[in-house]
Amino acid sequence: MDSIVVTGGRPLQGQIAIAGAKNAALALMPATLLSEEPLTLTNAPRLSDIKTMTALLQSLGVEVTSMQDGKVQVLSSHAMTSTTADYEIVRKMRASNLVLGPLLARHHQAVVSLPGGCAIGARPMDIHVTALEAMGAQIELREGYLHAKAPGGLKGARVPLRFASVGATENVLMAATLAKGTTVIENAAREPEIVDLAHCLRRMGAQIDGEGTSTITVQGVDRLGAATHPVVTDRIELGTYMLAPVFCGGEVECLGGRMELVASFAEKLDAAGVDVTQTDKGLKVRLRGDRPRAVDVVTEPFPGFPTDLQAQMMAMLCLAEGTSVLEERIFENRFMHAPELVRMGARIEVQGGQATVQGVDRLKGAPVMATDLRASVSLILAGLAAEGETVVNRVYHLDRGYEHVEDKLRGVGAQIARVSA
pLDDT tens digits, one per residue of 181-207? 999 999 999 999 999 999 999 999 999
Q: Which residue has the higher pLDDT, 330 or 295?
A: 295
CATH of domain 22-230: 3.65.10.10
pLDDT of residue 120: 39
Q: Is 158 exposed, middle or buried (0-12, 13-18, 19+ CB in 10 A)?
A: exposed
The residue type at 413: G
Question: Can you point out the beta strands (E) in 273-333?
Answer: 274-278, 282-287, 297-298, 323-327
> Would you say 94 is a known binding-site residue?
yes
Which DSSP letter does residue 10 get? -
Nearest C-alpha neighbor of 93 from the set 143, 56, 128: 56
Which DSSP letter does residue 187 get? S
* pLDDT tier at 286, thresholds 50, 70, 90: very high
What average pLDDT is seen over the chain? 95
* pLDDT higher than threshold 90 for residue 332: no
> Would you say 86 is a known binding-site residue?
no
Q: What are the residues whose beta carbons fall under 8 Å from the beta carbon of 51, sequence distance 6 or more?
A: none
Residue 247 and residue 397: Cα distance in Å, rounded? Answer: 22
CA quadruple 401, 404, 406, 411: dihedral sign: negative
pLDDT of residue 1: 82
Return the minimum-mean-pLDDT range out of 99-108, 289-298, 333-342: 333-342
Nearest C-alpha neighbor of 407 from the set 417, 419, 397, 395: 417
Peptide linkage before 11 cis (omega within 30 of 0):
no
* pLDDT higher than threshold 80 for residue 421: no
Kindly report, residue by residue over 261-285, the tens digit of the pLDDT.
999 999 999 999 999 999 999 999 9
On the question of a common fold for 3-19+233-419 and 22-230, the answer reads yes
> Would you say 308 is a known binding-site residue?
yes
Active site residue 254: no
Fold of 3-19+233-419: UDP-n-acetylglucosamine1-carboxyvinyl-transferase; Chain (3.65.10)
* pLDDT higher than threshold 70 for residue 380: yes
pLDDT of residue 123: 55
* pLDDT tier at 405, thresholds 50, 70, 90: very high
Q: Is 391 helix (H, G, I), strand (E, B) or coil?
A: strand
Kindly report, residue by residue over 87-143, the tens digit of the pLDDT.
999 988 888 999 999 999 999 999 999 885 444 345 568 999 999 999 999 999 999
Nearest C-alpha neighbor of 379 from the set 367, 388, 387: 367
Q: In angstroms, how far is the first alpha carbon of the chain from the final one?
A: 5
Nearest C-alpha neighbor of 125 from the set 104, 108, 107, 144: 144
Alpha-carbon Rg of the chain, whole angstroms? 22
Q: Where are the domains of the chain?
A: 3-19+233-419, 22-230
